[in-house]
């Protein structure tokens, strides 16, 4: 429905615009919620099928009655549960839990205190957090792109193949909304809320530290128009993520006597940050077939895809701060010497979804994404047991 707004007096036309914008936004939110529901139903259904059919490990047969959706608590989910139950413990040279960040275990422990099982808390937090994240992504996207692009970005994120992680007891489900909300609050001039979200995102996943870039860009742009109190809050928003990271190091120093225990624990998984990291990552990729590690190609292809989409987002006018943060999130893991899990890490790079949404302006691309992504999402969920995300 269109209206000739020029015929109306100015105040009247503004009111019509506003009410139309509100109606569009409401419809957009409804659509996002619907796609979240459909995509999560798909993931849960696949998880149930895997549990019933015991695919691919016949020996893995948790009871459906006592451990429903056990598939969503495997791999790192167990590590987070260990932290929630007994805190951090660093075992030099061995796989140990300081490699995992504390926000999810904190939530799991708090819920366990009132009788909610660890796994249930992890899965519920991840799924509800993801819903909040999709809505925040949509709202933030609407501030940076046309509404239709923002809506498509949120829909694509809902069905993104690696997005099955958002239903697992992994911290991505809570880091994703916190990253999007930090950006949204900063754009809407609510710096203190942005600071708290940035700190929360960093406590959930180390990638949260890259929020410094977009938040700093927003603070610099707004600086001349801000009063002293506004400037203080903007500075706090920029520094909140590093402060949260420092608090984690301080906590590890207090508990384990080593502020870098999280980085040292990563070494057991073959990750250590070095200048030669990208070289090692490429060598590992080249030797992947010799070591029967074909799954590594999945992460490498995802990495390439993310970089391409970041470039599309940049050309579509997404602020440089966001694109740089996305590039940091996608490429920084390579400095640790491996492409491993980059498909999962890149999920927190919001401009990836905006880049995909820009490509989706073309109807065939939109159709391909909306058909292929759910299929790949289902396939990825079914193969969780074969390879960690």
Partner 1 sequence: MSRRDRFAWAVPLLAGALLAAAIGAGAFALQATLGGPTAAQKLAARAVGRLDAMREARTSLTLDRGRAVPAVCVVVHARDEIQVGRTLRLQIVRAHVRRLSGPAQRPAQLAAIAALSACPRFLANGLNARLRADRATLVGTTRIHGRPDDIFDVSNHSSRPLVQLVMTRKNLVPIEVRFLGHRLTGRGKIIGMSRKTAKKVSLYFLKHKSLIPAATAP
Q: Quick one: 89 or 132, whose CB is closer to partner 1?
A: 89
Using alpha carbons, select from 306, 299, 287 the residue that is nearest to residue 355: 306
Asked whether 60 and 385 are in contact (CB, 8 A), the reply is yes
Asked whether 177 and 130 are in contact (CB, 8 A), the reply is yes
Q: Quick one: 165 or 196, whose CB is closer to partner 1?
A: 196
Q: Mark the segment that binds partner 1 (CB under 8 A) among 27-35, 99-107, 152-160, 325-333.
A: 99-107
Q: Quick one: 247 or 366, whose CB is closer to partner 1?
A: 247
- Residues 132-171, one symbol each (x = binds partner 1 by CB under 8 A, - = not), give ----------------------------------------
Near partner 1 by CB under 8 A: residue from 14, 19, 37, 92: 92
Instruction: State the nearest-atom distance from the C-beta of 152 to partner 1, in Å.
Output: 34
How distant, in Å, are the alpha carbons of 52, 81, 252, 378 from that of 55?
8, 24, 38, 14
**Binding positions for partner 1, 103-132, rule CB under 8 A:** 105-106, 109-110
Q: Quick one: 215 or 378, whose CB is closer to partner 1?
A: 215
> Is 59 one of the binding residues for partner 1 (CB under 8 A)?
no
* Distance (Å, whole) CA 180 – CA 339: 25
Asked whether 370 and 155 are in contact (CB, 8 A), the reply is yes
**Binding positions for partner 1, 232-271, rule CB under 8 A:** 232-236, 238-240, 242-244, 246-248, 250-251, 255-256
**Binding positions for partner 1, 169-198, rule CB under 8 A:** 192, 195-196
C-alpha angle 313/173/127, rounded to 5°?
Answer: 120
Instruction: State the nearest-atom distance from the C-beta of 192 to partner 1, in Å.
Output: 8
Near partner 1 by CB under 8 A: residue from 82, 288, 307, 376: 82
Helix axis angle, 147-159 relative to 350-359, nearest 10°?
A: 110
Instruction: State the nearest-atom distance from the C-beta of 206 to partner 1, in Å.
Output: 14
> Is 199 one of the binding residues for partner 1 (CB under 8 A)?
yes
Q: Which residues bind partner 1 (CB under 8 A)?
A: 82-94, 96, 102, 105-106, 109-110, 192, 195-196, 199, 203, 228-229, 231-236, 238-240, 242-244, 246-248, 250-251, 255-256
């Amino acid at each position: 429905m269109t209206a000739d707004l020029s015929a109306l007096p100015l105040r009247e036309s503004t009111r019509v615009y506003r009410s139309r914008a509100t109606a569009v936004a409401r419809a957009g939110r409804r659509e996002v919620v619907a796609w979240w529901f459909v995509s999560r139903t798909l993931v849960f259904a696949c998880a149930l099928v895997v549990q019933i059919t015991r695919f691919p490990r016949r020996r893995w047969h948790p009871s459906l009655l006592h451990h429903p959706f056990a598939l969503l608590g495997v791999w790192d989910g167990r590590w987070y549960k260990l932290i929630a139950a007994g805190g951090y413990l660093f075992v030099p040279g061995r796989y140990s839990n300081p490699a995992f960040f504390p926000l999810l275990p904190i939530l799991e422990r708090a819920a366990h205190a009132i009788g909610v099982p660890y796994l249930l808390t992890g899965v519920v937090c991840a799924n509800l957090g993801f819903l909040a994240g999709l809505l925040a992504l949509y709202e933030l996207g609407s501030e940076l792109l046309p509404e239709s692009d923002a809506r498509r970005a949120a829909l694509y994120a809902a069905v993104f193949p690696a997005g099955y992680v958002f239903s697992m007891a992994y911290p991505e489900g809570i880091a994703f909304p916190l990253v999007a909300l930090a950006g949204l609050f900063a754009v809407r001039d609510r710096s203190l809320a942005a600071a708290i979200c940035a700190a929360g995102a960093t406590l959930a996943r180390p990638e949260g530290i890259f929020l410094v870039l977009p938040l700093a860009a927003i603070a610099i742009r707004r600086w001349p128009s801000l009063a002293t109190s506004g400037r203080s809050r903007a500075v706090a928003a920029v520094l909140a993520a590093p402060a949260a990271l420092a608090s984690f190091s301080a906590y590890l120093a207090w508990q384990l006597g080593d502020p870098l225990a999280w980085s040292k624990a990563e070494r057991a998984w073959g990750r250590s940050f070095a200048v030669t990291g990208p070289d090692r990552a490429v060598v590992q990729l080249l030797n992947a077939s010799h070591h029967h590690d074909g799954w590594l190609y999945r992460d490498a292809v995802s990495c390439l895809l993310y970089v391409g989409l970041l470039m599309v987002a940049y050309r579509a006018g997404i602020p440089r701060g966001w694109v740089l943060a996305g590039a940091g999130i996608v490429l920084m893991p390579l400095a640790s010497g491996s492409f491993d899990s980059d498909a999962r890490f890149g999920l927190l790079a919001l401009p990836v979804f905006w880049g995909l949404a820009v490509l989706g302006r073309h109807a065939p691309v939109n159709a391909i994404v909306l058909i292929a992504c759910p299929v790949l999402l289902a396939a990825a969920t079914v193969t969780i047991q074969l390879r960690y995300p």
